Amino acid sequence: MQFIKMIIILFIVCSSTLAKENNTRIGVILFSKQFETAYLGLKDGLTELGYNPKFFIENINGNLSLIKGILESFKKNNVDIVFTTTTPVLKEVKKYNNNYNFKIVFNEVADPKELGVLGRNITGVSHEAFELTPKRVEMALYCFPKIKHTYYITYDNPIFKSHIKYFNKVNYLDIKTPSTILGYNELLEKNDFRNNSLIILAPIPELAKNFKNILAVADKHNIPVIPMDNSFVYKGATLSYSPDFYNIGEQTALIVCAILNGVDINLIPYQQPQKISLYINNYRIKKYNLTINPLCNLLSEKVVNEKK
């Protein structure tokens, strides 16, 4: 109820503005190209609200050491708001922000409270990924009843492994926790995946960045991939039950609009995603010769047919 009230308040604040400021400058930091759709959602959302800010877009391609220099360039360009994607980017920006005092608005953070990334001048939209990941698995097992084994790829990290407690309804769960991205590559190259399996991706930016490698393994073994976000269903994932990077970016536009209209960022609590839905990829289902529960076609909001 509080969440709905906040959305209504933000909408009223933004829709009641008579004159739109178009000299706003927003810095955008993408963890990798895969997160660009969040920025596009933000941009389109602000356009719909009557704003046309100038964006300074930086793609670090997973290199967090670039962020300090990027923040310095944002300062020189008189950026007002910094839009971050993923937990690692937000943590790095937060570390340096005492020197800049930017207003930080985040996306693609699995659980802001549990991961300890909240603080002064920080708000945004959570991805709710820790809680939603087991629900994605349950949905996948419901849609593909012949699946017998589940591979869950996550960090070898106490926080990321702690949410495995939510998997109480998942049988045959094989938890893979390599400590480095090289470990992920080695894991994929082993090709020891069983038949009738699923590959579940934890909400980890490196897995999103290396999605093509994971998909190549899936194609080789006819294994459906269940990613952390619906946007990957358009890129070859078989199914996902989650938010969509674009929709979350669009939702974030209301927060940015409120800030531009003088609302103190520290009075705006972070939000949960407004929309969580089921996407399925018919092309992959046919390619992998999967048996799908026919009800899933009815439950899905979008059925994707990749063009090949």
CATH code of the domain covering residue 147: 3.40.50.2300
What is the reported pLDDT for 265? Answer: 96
Q: Same domain, yes or no, for 103 and 87? A: yes
What is the reported pLDDT for 193? Answer: 67
> What is the rounded average pLDDT of the residues 37-53?
95
Greater confidence (233 vs 23) lies with 233
Q: Same domain, yes or no, for 177 and 137? A: yes
pLDDT tens per residue, range 96-127: 999 999 999 999 998 888 888 899 999 999 99
What is the reported pLDDT for 10? Answer: 54
Q: 57 pairs with which residues across the strands?
A: 28
pLDDT > 70 fraction of the chain, expressed in percent and rounded: 80
Q: Is residue 17 part of a domain?
A: no
Q: Is residue 92 part of a domain?
A: yes
Q: Same domain, yes or no, for 31 and 56? A: yes
DSSP 193: P
155: left (phi > 0), else alpha (psi -120 to 50), else beta? beta
Indicate the angle between helix axes 211-221 and 181-190, nearest 10 degrees: 10
When pLDDT is cut at 50, 70 and 90, the band that residue 173 belongs to is: low
Distance (Å, rounded) from C-alpha 83 to C-alpha 102?
Answer: 10
Amino acid at residue number 52: N
Q: Same domain, yes or no, for 93 and 200? A: no
Any idea which of 171-185, 233-247, 254-268 has the lowest mean pLDDT?
171-185
Q: Same domain, yes or no, for 295 and 197? A: yes
What is the reported pLDDT for 149? Answer: 80
User: Looking at the 3D structure of the chain, how many domains does it have?
Assistant: 2
Q: 122 pairs with which residues across the strands?
A: 104
Q: Same domain, yes or no, for 114 and 140? A: no
Pick from 131, 132, 129, 146: nearest CA to 198: 146
Distance (Å, rounded) from C-alpha 174 to C-alpha 143?
Answer: 20
Q: Is residue 20 part of a domain?
A: no
Q: Same domain, yes or no, for 216 and 205? A: yes
Please tell me the total number of residues recorded for the chain in this structure: 308
Q: Same domain, yes or no, for 98 and 40? A: yes
Pick from 51, 56, 57, 42: nearest CA to 23: 51
What is the reported pLDDT for 184? Answer: 64
Q: Same domain, yes or no, for 116 and 258? A: yes
Answer whether residue 17 shows pLDDT above 90: no
Q: Same domain, yes or no, for 227 and 95? A: no
What is the reported pLDDT for 161? Answer: 64
Greater confidence (210 vs 53) lies with 53
What is the reported pLDDT for 23? Answer: 79
Q: Is residue 36 part of a domain?
A: yes
Q: Same domain, yes or no, for 99 and 195? A: no
124: left (phi > 0), else alpha (psi -120 to 50), else beta? left
**Range(s) of the domain holding residue 117:** 25-128+244-276
Q: How many other C-beta atoms lie within 10 A of the C-beta of residue 305? A: 10
Amino acid at residue number 200: I
Contact 251, 273 (CB under 8 A): yes
What is the reported pLDDT for 19? Answer: 42
- For residue 66 the two structure tokens come to 């670039």
Pick from 288, 279, 282, 270: nearest CA to 229: 279
Q: Is residue 2 part of a domain?
A: no
The alpha carbon dihedral of 285, 35, 152, 187 has a sign of: positive
Greater confidence (214 vs 281) lies with 281
Phi then psi for residue 93, to 5 deg, are -65, -45
**pTM for the whole structure:** 0.85
Contact 213, 188 (CB under 8 A): yes
Q: Same domain, yes or no, for 268 and 284? A: no
